[in-house]
Chain A
Amino acid sequence: MKPTAPLRRACARTLLAAGLATSLALMTGCAKSEDDSGGDRGASQGKDAGQVVASPSGGTGPSCAIDAYGGEKRDLKSATVGFSQSEKEANPFRIAETASIKAEAQQRGVKLLTANAQSQFSKQISDVQDLIAKGADLLVIAPLNSDGWEPVLRAASAKHIPIVTVDRKINAAACKDYVSFIGSDFVEQGRRAADRMIGATGGKGEIAVLLGAAGNNVTTERTKGFEDRIKEKAPGLKIVFRQTTEFSREKGQSVTENLIQSRPGIKGIYAENDEMGLGAVNALKSAGKKPGAVKIVTIDGTRNAVQGIVDGWISGVIESNPRFGPLAFQTLDSFARGEKVAQDIVIQDSSYTKDNAESDLGKAY
Chain B
Amino acid sequence: MLTVTGLCKTFPGVRALSEVDFTARAGEVHALVGENGAGKSTLIKVLTGVYQPDAGELSCDGSQVRFATPLQAQQAGISTIYQEVNLVPLMSVARNLFLGREPRGRLGLIDFRRMHRAAEDTLRAMGIRVDVRRPLRELGVGAQQMVALARAVAVDARVVIMDEPTSSLEPREVRTLFGVIRTLRERGIAVIYVSHRMDELYEICDAVTVLRDGRVVHTGRLAELDRLRLVALMLGREIGEVREEGLTKFTGSRDTAARPVLEAEGLRIRHQLDGVSVSLRPGEVVGLGGLLGSGRSETAKAIAGAVPVDGGRVVVAGEPVRAGSTAAAIRAGISLLPEDRKTEGIVPGLSVRENIALAALPGLSRFGLVDDARVDRIVDTFMKRLRIKAAGPHQKVGELSGGNQQKVLLARWLALHPKVLLLDEPTRGIDVGAKAEVQALVDELADDGLAVLLISSDTEELIEGSDRVVVLKDGAVVRELTGDAVTEDELMRAIAAVPAGGHDD
Contacts and interface: CB of A to CB of B under 8 A. Distances in A.
Interface of A: 1-5
Interface in B377-412: none
B324 interface: yes
A239 B323 CA distance: 74
Nearest to B270: A1
A276 B430 CA distance: 67
Nearest to B308: A2
Contacts of B323: 2-3
Contacts of B325: 4
Contacts of A5: 308, 324
A160 to B, nearest CB: 46
Interface in B321-373: 322-325
Interface in B291-327: 308, 322-325
Q: Please report whether the interface of chain A is mostly helix, strand, loop or mixed according to DSSP.
A: loop
11 contacts: A1-B308, A2-B308, A2-B323, A2-B324, A3-B323, A3-B324, A4-B322, A4-B324, A4-B325, A5-B308, A5-B324
A9 to B, nearest CB: 13
Q: Please report whether the interface of chain B is mostly helix, strand, loop or mixed according to DSSP.
A: loop
Interface residues of B, number: 5
Interface of B: 308, 322-325
B71 to A, nearest CB: 39
Nearest to B305: A2
Nearest to B322: A4
B268 to A, nearest CB: 13
A303 to B, nearest CB: 50
Nearest to B307: A2
A3 B322 CA distance: 11
Top 5 nearest A-B pairs (CB, nearest first) are A2-B308, A2-B324, A1-B308, A4-B324, A5-B308
Nearest to B309: A2
A2 B308 CA distance: 5
Contacts of A1: 308
B366 to A, nearest CB: 30
A185 to B, nearest CB: 57
Contacts of B324: 2-5
Given A4-B324, A5-B308, 7 more contacts: A1-B308, A2-B308, A2-B323, A2-B324, A3-B323, A4-B322, A5-B324
B73 to A, nearest CB: 38
A5 B308 CA distance: 10
Question: For A1, A2, A4, which residue has the most chain B Cβ atoms within 10 angstroms?
Answer: A2
Nearest to A1: B308
Contacts of A4: 322, 324-325
Contacts of B322: 4
A105 to B, nearest CB: 53
Contacts of A3: 323-324
Nearest to B325: A4
A3 B324 CA distance: 9
B330 to A, nearest CB: 17
A1 B322 CA distance: 14
Contacts of A2: 308, 323-324
A5 B309 CA distance: 12
A3 B312 CA distance: 13
A4 B324 CA distance: 9
A173 to B, nearest CB: 44
Question: For B322, B324, B325, which residue has the most chain A Cβ atoms within 10 angstroms?
Answer: B324
Nearest to B310: A1
B311 to A, nearest CB: 10
A275 B65 CA distance: 74
Contacts of B308: 1-2, 5
A1 B311 CA distance: 10
B270 to A, nearest CB: 10
A7 to B, nearest CB: 12
B450 to A, nearest CB: 28
A4 B322 CA distance: 10
Nearest to A4: B324
A5 B325 CA distance: 11
B38 to A, nearest CB: 34
A1 B324 CA distance: 9
A2 B328 CA distance: 14
B310 to A, nearest CB: 8
B302 to A, nearest CB: 12
B168 to A, nearest CB: 16
B305 to A, nearest CB: 10
A2 B269 CA distance: 11
A4 B328 CA distance: 13
A2 B302 CA distance: 11
A205 B475 CA distance: 89
B418 to A, nearest CB: 23
B337 to A, nearest CB: 23
